[in-house]
A and B are shown apart, each in its own frame.
Chain A
Amino acid sequence: MRRLPIGRDGMYVIDTGSWRQFRPVVRQADCTRCGICLMYCPVNAVRMSDGEVSFDLTYCKGCGICKIECPKKAIDWVEEGC
């Protein structure tokens, strides 16, 4: 099926990754792959592949919802540029 019409000049995409002050980092040893971070990420930046959770940092705004919602508290918060 032809998915588009997309606008004449293409898709409107903003570099929201540059907003981020802190980035999420998963401690794989504590992660149970429950997928709660994926369910609640407003930007849809959580990926689950090969049983591992990772973040798409191109668009992650660093809101911190995944850190708060993680039932195992397995997501660390690392300051950007450090």
Chain B
Amino acid sequence: MTVVEFLAQAEDLVSPGLSACQGCAAELALRTAMKVIGPKSVVGIPPGCVAGFGAPGWGLKTGMKVPVCMPLLGNSASLMSGIKQAYAAKDPEVRVVAFAGDGATVDAGFQCLSAAAERRENIIYICYDNEGYMNTGFQKSGTTPHGAHMSTTPSGSCSQGNAAFKKDLPLMLAMQDAAYVATLSVSHIPDFVDKLKKACEVTDGLSYLHILSPCPTGWGTTPELSIEYARKAVETLYFPLYEYSRGTFTISKPTLRAAAKAKPVSEFLAGQRRFRHLCEADALALQEHVDRKWGILSRLAG
């Protein structure tokens, strides 16, 4: 069965009408991930865009066809670990999933996630990374790239946007020897589905999946170009796709193809409102950062 056939026949486990922005890649990531994970699952969605657009429900209504709860911003990994341990005694086949944004993962939820990986809790932790706190007014998060104009790091006469560089959480969890770590992009759905299937097969520890999820509203792009920007992020090596399992890093095929003829990061930056103030020196700093991170990764993958 091809990926398209699989996605066409799989049941959509999310409410058909949710108030995500037009062109929201997180909605695509949630629906596709749930098609692969299947109906025998329990989902936790902490505050963030996905909770805001109604996937955990609203009032006494629910937004998904599987049990879904809303942990606090910082404790998704702990709460889902507890739920998994209860199900491990009752029915070990139930998959317990956390679907958290970058703020609830790399900033507020990092301690819980790191501890859950250390305890080798058998949960699937998915982070959709839209590079900021996009549903509360575009504040900077730990994964906001260098130079981005956010509401808390505005560009102007004495600032050129975010001074810090993007925090590399998947690599941190790989260094912690989590059972399975992978980076995914909504622009490469066959690779996306393949990695989710692998994450579902893990039985002895935590699976961490980091999805780059373009945000038309926060990045200042038009809705129809969401997938195109995710693709550019992969092609410029800004967001390399790889997986880590049992001591081995494997660079995924789309990134291997891109690395043979990598495009400059400026192609990814062009057209995004959050980067429109960038001067050449800032773009160069970002390019150097991308090159350095890719150097580390390609050495790790041998």
By a beta-carbon cutoff of 8 Å, the part of chain A in contact with chain B is 1, 3-17, 19, 34-36, 38-44, 47-48, 58-59, 61-65, 67-69
Contact = CB atoms under 8 A, between A and B. Distances in A.
A79 to B, nearest CB: 15
A4 B223 CA distance: 33
Interface string B1-32: 01111011000101111111011110110010
Nearest to B216: A63
A63 to B, nearest CB: 4
B99 to A, nearest CB: 15
Contacts of A19: 22
B57 interface: yes
Contacts, number: 113
Nearest to A49: B8
A49 to B, nearest CB: 9
Tier of interface size on chain B: 35 or more
B257 interface: no
B17 A64 contact: no
Nearest to B9: A48
Given A39-B189, A41-B28, A42-B31, A65 B17 contact: no
A13 B17 CA distance: 5
Interface stretch (B61-69, B72-80, B264-272, B289-297): B61-69
B225 A68 contact: yes
B57 A12 contact: yes
Contacts of B22: 19, 61-64
Contacts of B189: 39-40
Nearest to B58: A12
Contacts of B226: 42, 63, 65
6 contacts: A3-B66, A6-B61, A12-B59, A40-B189, A44-B31, A68-B228
Given A1-B39, A39-B7, A42-B23, A64 B16 contact: no
B4 A39 contact: yes
A73 B3 CA distance: 21
B224 interface: yes
